[in-house]
Amino acid sequence: MNQLDQLKQFTTVVADTGDFKQLAQYAPRDATTNPSLILKAVQQSAYAPLLSETVAAHRGRPLETVVDAVLVRFGCEILRIVPGRVSTEVDARLSFDRPATLARARHLIALYRAQGVAPDRVLIKIASTWEGIQAAAELEREGIHCNLTLLFSFAQAVACADAGVTLISPFVGRIYDWFKKAAGAGWDESANAGTNDPGVRSVSRIYQHYKHHDIRTEVMGASFRNVGQILALAGCDLLTISPDLMAQLQKGSDTVTRRLDPAVAKAEAVPAVHYDEPQFRYAHNDDAMASEKLSEGIRAFAADSAKLDQLVARER
């Protein structure tokens, strides 16, 4: 078997793309999107009719309503291809606004329902701020399943578990980027590869904590820079992978070894950890990498959301 098929023996493979025309060849179970991926897709000529049709069908409605309709249209097209779930993201500009996050998430689910898509096939992506995590806790109680994204710190992972969210997306590549940049000329690529990669170590720690304490929240490694990071997390509950990296895995033939195992995590000594709000804010702030990357990620997604707004507004 190729490496992609081998990986699927240990881990649920998820496609990280808005370009749904690429999906079938890799046979992922789920798919994830974000503002940057949708923005990239709608600027391709292949998706111009989809954008125009969706905007025309909602002409005269508020801009945010039309944008949500575009996101859901992409989600529905993806769900025609994958057998599992699609993740659709709440506007990153609402990351510190709990009531607005709740309203936007409920609206997205209502749009999916109107298209005949059951809520259990949708994950609402929300940034892992304290406000976002608390909004997700409320949504989960309503039966709306959430994917907490832009997750960089152990404190974020602990708070998400306590909130009972369905899934978290700890970012691997962006953590790697931060440490590589911080080390500058002193960075040793070979010494920080594979299981020693700082992003891989972060996800592994979260996975071990969750499995040891029987936490039901799923761990989905995200934001990969290379195939080595993916293979170092073989055995993680899910991994969301770009089409380019899935293509590389599909061409690879080396043996894939399971790296993360719930039985091993269960046998290790892993202390229980919980945070109230002040403890969470301090612990996350005390992690320079995590606090910087969360802020940077929100700004980047917000900027791409604003660009998507502009494209939709021009179509109106």
**Count of H helices and E strands in the chain?**
14, 8
Overall average pLDDT of the 149-155 stretch:
98
Provide CB contacts within 8 A for 94, sequence distance 6+: 100, 101, 104
129-146 average pLDDT score: 98
Flag whether pLDDT at 315 surpasses 90.
Answer: no
Band of residue 155 on the pLDDT scale cut at 50, 70, 90? very high
Q: Which pLDDT score is estimated for 307?
A: 96
Structure confidence by residue, pLDDT tens digits, 258-300: 999 999 999 999 999 999 999 999 999 999 999 999 999 999 9
* Bridge partner list, 147: 125, 167
Q: How confident is the model at residue 236 (pLDDT cuts 50, 70, 90)?
A: very high
**Residue 81: pLDDT over 90:** yes
Residues sharing a CB contact under 8 Å with residue 274, sequence separation 6 or more, in sequence order = 158, 162
Q: What pLDDT score does 3 carry?
A: 98
Q: How confident is the model at residue 71 (pLDDT cuts 50, 70, 90)?
A: very high
Give the integer Cα–Cα distance in Å for 268 and 127: 30
pLDDT in tens, 12-51: 999 999 999 999 999 999 999 998 999 999 999 999 999 9
Q: Please report which confidence band the pLDDT of residue 198 belongs to, taking 50, 70 and 90 as the band edges.
A: very high
Q: Which of 112, 110, 77, 89 lies closest to 240 in space, CA to CA?
A: 89
Q: Do 23 and 242 form a contact (C-beta atoms < 8 A)?
A: no
Cβ atoms of 129 and 294 closer than 8 Å = yes
Furthest-apart CA atoms within the chain: distance in Å: 59
Structure tokens at 10: 């240990």
Residue 88 has pLDDT above 90, yes or no: yes
Is 237's pLDDT higher than 90?
Answer: yes
Q: pTM for the complete prediction?
A: 0.97
**Any idea where the domains of the chain sit in the sequence?**
3-310
Provide the annotated active-site residues: 125
Domain 3-310 top-level CATH class = alpha beta
Is the confidence at residue 188, as pLDDT, over 90? yes
Q: Which pLDDT does position 255 carry in this prediction?
A: 98
